[in-house]
Amino acid sequence: MRKPIYLTLATTGLLGLAACASSGGSTASTGPVGIVQVGAYTGDQAFEAQFAASIDYPALYAVNHAGGILGRQVSLIQVDTRSDPADALAAMGKTLATSSNIAAILGPDSTSAATLVPLLNSHHLPMMIAAGEAAYDRSPYAYLWRDVPPDPANGEAIALWAKQQGYASVATVFGTDTGSQGDLPGVVAGVKAVGIKLADQENLTPDQPSYRAAVERLLAARPAAIITESDGPTAATFFGELKQLGSLVPVIGTSGTPSDSYFTPMRGAIGSANFNKYFRAVVVGNPVTNPAVTAFNASVLAVQNKLSKPVTQWENNSFSESGYDGMITLALAMDAAHSTDGTVYNTYIMQVTAPGPGKQVVYTYAAGKAALAAGHKIQYIGASGPLLFSKYHNSFGSQAVEEFPANAPAVVVGTITQAQVQALGG
Partner 1 sequence: MLIIQAIGFGVITAALIAIGAMGFTVQFGLTNVLNISYAGAMTVGAFATFLAEVVHLPLVVGVLLAPLAAAALTWVLGRTLFAFYARRGAGLFEMVMVTLAVNLILQFGIDAASREQIYRFAFPQGASLHVGPFTVTVTQLALVVVAVAVFGGLEFLLRRTRLGKALRAMAVEPRLARTCGIPTARIVTVVWLLSGALAGLAGLGYVINALTIDASVGTSFLPLVLAAAILGKAGSTRGAVLAALALGVVTEEVAAVGGAAYSTVAGFGILAVVLLTRPAALAGQTAGKAEITV
> What residue ranges bind partner 1 (CB under 8 A)?
46-47, 49-50, 176, 202-205, 207-214, 216-217, 220, 232-233, 236-237, 240, 244-245, 260-261, 264-265, 267-269, 308
Calpha distance 130→148 (Å, rounded): 7
- Give least dist CB 101 to partner 1, A: 28
- Give least dist CB 239 to partner 1, A: 9
Q: Which is nearer to partner 1, 405 or 425 (CB)?
A: 405
- Give least dist CB 106 to partner 1, A: 20
Q: Which is nearer to partner 1, 51 or 296 (CB)?
A: 51
Residues 6+ apart with CB under 8 A from 175: 181, 203, 204, 205, 206, 229, 230, 231, 234
Q: Which is nearer to partner 1, 44 or 403 (CB)?
A: 44
- Give least dist CB 301 to partner 1, A: 20
Q: Which is nearer to partner 1, 180 or 394 (CB)?
A: 180
- Give least dist CB 373 to partner 1, A: 41
Q: Which is nearer to partner 1, 124 or 212 (CB)?
A: 212
State phi, psi for 208 to the nearest 5 degrees. -85, 155
- Give least dist CB 229 to partner 1, A: 14
74 and 96 Cβ atoms separated by less than 8 Å:
no
Q: Which is nearer to partner 1, 37 or 346 (CB)?
A: 37
Q: Which is nearer to partner 1, 258 or 285 (CB)?
A: 258
Burial of 264 from C-beta contacts in 10 A (0-12 / 13-18 / 19+): middle
- Give least dist CB 204 to partner 1, A: 5
Count other Cβ atoms within 10 Å, centred on residue 407.
9
Burial of 271 from C-beta contacts in 10 A (0-12 / 13-18 / 19+): middle
- Give least dist CB 425 to partner 1, A: 27
- Give least dist CB 291 to partner 1, A: 33
Q: Which is nearer to partner 1, 67 or 233 (CB)?
A: 233
Q: Which is nearer to partner 1, 190 or 240 (CB)?
A: 240
